[in-house]
Amino acid sequence: MYRITIKEGKDKAPRRHHPWIFSGAIEKTEPSFTEADWAEVVSEAGMFIAYGWYDEESHITLRLMSWKKNEKLNDDFIRRLVRESVSRRRDFFSLPDTTAFRLIHGEADFLPGIACDAYGREIRLIISSRFADKFLPVIASELSSMLKPSVIEAVTDKQFAGLEGLKERIRHFRDGVETKEDENRDNVRFIENGIWYEAAPGKGQKSGFYCDQRDNRVITGEYARGKTVLDLFSYTGGFTLHALKNGALSVDAVDSSESALRHLLYQIHLNEDKKVLPEGSRERVTTTTADAFEFIRASEDGKYDMMILDPPKLAKTKSALDNAMKAYKDLNRVAMMKIRNGGIIATYSCSGAMTREDFKMMLGWASTDAGCEIQILRTLSAGEDHPVRLSFPESEYLKGFLIRVIK
């Protein structure tokens, strides 16, 4: 185990249980780094602060995981963290109309760089840290023991593979043992708030589906009744399906991925067949493969009385925030100019580097430039299976506002 001394004045955040320490905050490492391992973290005065995982090849050099002096750091410690995280979601396992939800939410559940979602009888993991990659077999084994899934699929997050020096790969576990992929494996079907979805193995964005928007899809859909809706960055249509279920007059779904839009249409047919969506829902949807920013600029003024703006992460790091703020502002400004007077916009950001106050300030700038007033009707965030750990504000990555535009 390493013994790491934190520089004077740099120990406030770790004492307050923020889990990230970068190399610039480290005064001394004993012994010198040779390979990733557990570390005891102390102040310059030698007082214990925490235990963490030390890896100089990671872009976050030290990831703190326990502030208990008597903690034993080993595989059993990781297994306990997995069990505790899953147990905190026990109420989700008995929901009658939802079988997709998050089981592990990274640092918010004290397991850095790993997101784990249940989709019916399958479990899918996103690996975004060297720590998570190292302990993946232990995590998969414990999940298998607890939940008996048909398969566990672990995908390296492309956005972090380069930063962490990880290979982009997909790994599979059955009965807790790593195995080869079943090439004939069927798509997995699951339910969210009574609507059916299907995700292909090893494909799609992240784990194949964004269950963090579960509550927001319901809320947003309730405002779609009798409206002409634009669903920008629609992906496979979660918001579109809820708009149709709630009686939208029409939905224009726009995404840069043609395959995602084809899957959106398939899921409409799936839910019509299961009598979840009203007959004729397919005829109320138009899909367009396009750059969403270009599409909304070219759209007809006043055509839509509701817009849903759910772009991908535009600020992956704090250094990218300035440019991202400009992009968010431009998108929302144009939306405010194009929408009908009194129209509703559901606007989201999944950029962890952007705070909720940043997002609200950006909307204010956009409305000023668009020459309109906005009213915030609802403040939106991820569901309770994506908890915000107060000592780790970055865990509040998903932010949204449902606003009315007054011209």
Give the CATH number for residue 40. Answer: 2.30.130.10
Asked whether residue 200 is domain-assigned, the answer is no
**Contacts by 361-369, CB closer than 8 A, 24 or more apart:** 362/325, 362/328, 362/329, 362/332, 363/332, 363/401, 363/403, 365/329, 365/333, 366/329, 366/330, 366/332, 366/333, 366/336, 367/333, 367/336, 367/405, 369/329, 369/333
Q: Which residues pair with 228 in a beta bridge?
A: 250
By CB atoms closer than 10 A (0-12, 13-18, 19+), residue 291 is exposed
| Helix, strand, coil shares, percent, the chain, to 5 | 35, 30, 40
Residues 6+ apart with CB under 8 A from 215: 380, 382, 383
Q: Cβ distance 266 to 287 under 8 Å?
A: no
Residue type, 325: M
CB contact at 8 A, 212 and 398? yes
Q: What is the pLDDT of residue 319?
A: 65
pLDDT digits (tens, 9 = 90+) for 135-190: 999 999 999 999 999 999 999 998 889 999 999 999 999 999 999 887 777 889 99
**Helices 75-87 and 136-147: angle between axes, nearest 10 degrees:** 50
Q: Which residue range(s) make up the domain with 24?
A: 2-66
Spatial CA neighbour of 125 closest among 79, 173, 90 = 173
Last residue of a domain, one of 66, 97, 116: 66
Distance CA 42, CA 65 (A): 14
**For residue 269, what are its two tokens?**
């047919």
Chain CA centroid to CA 229, Å: 24
Residues 6+ apart with CB under 8 A from 354: 315, 321, 324, 325, 328, 362, 399
One domain for residues 150 and 248: no
The reply to whether 172 and 222 lie within a common domain is no
Q: DSSP class of residue 224?
A: -
Cα separations in angstroms, 181 against 136, 177, 202: 16, 12, 10
384 & 344 share domain: yes
Q: Phi then psi for 122, rounded to 5 degrees?
A: -105, 155
Tokens 């012994």 identify what position? 31
Residues 260 and 401 in one domain: yes
Helix (H) / strand (E) containing 262: helix 258-273
Residue carrying the six token digits 């003024």: 301
Choosing from 45, 66, 87, the residue where a domain stops is: 66
Residues 248 and 164 in one domain: no
Model confidence, pTM: 0.92
- Do the beta carbons of residue 395 and residue 106 sit within 8 Å? yes
In a domain, 204, yes or no: no
Torsions phi, psi for 33 (to 5 deg): -65, 130
Statement to judge: residues 253 and 391 lie in one domain? yes
Query: Does residue 202 belong to any structural domain of this protein?
Result: no
How is residue 90 annotated by DSSP? G
Question: CA of 98: how far to CAs of 95, 251, 386, in Å?
Answer: 6, 24, 15
- Over the chain, what is the mean pLDDT? 94
Is the same domain home to 116 and 262? no
Q: Looking at this protein, which amino acid is placed at residue 202?
A: G
Residue with tokens 């440019």: 323
Closest residue by Cα to residue 120 from 48, 66, 197: 197
What residues does 152 pair with on adjacent strands? Answer: 123, 173
**Backbone torsions φ then ψ of 358, nearest 5 degrees:** -55, -45
| Structural domains in the chain (count) | 3
The token pair that represents 387 in the structure block: 């908890």
| Predicted local confidence at residue 181, as pLDDT | 80
- Can you give the pLDDT at residue 204? 43
Q: Which of 156, 179, 202 is the last residue of a domain?
A: 179
User: Which tens digits make up the pLDDT trace of 218-277?
Assistant: 999 999 999 999 999 999 999 999 999 999 999 999 999 999 999 999 999 999 999 999
C-alpha to C-alpha distance for 148 and 142, rounded to whole angstroms: 10
Q: Side chain identity at 146, as an amino acid letter?
A: M
Return the number of other C-beta atoms located less than 10 Å from residue 347's C-beta. 26
Q: Are residues 223 and 278 in the same domain?
A: yes
pLDDT on residue 32: 97
CB of 223 closer than 8 Å to CB of 344: yes
Q: In which residue ranges of the chain is pLDDT below 70?
A: 201-208, 315-319
- Tokens, residue 337: 């100019």
Angstrom distance (rounded) from CA 243 to CA 261: 16
Q: Is residue 167 part of a domain?
A: yes
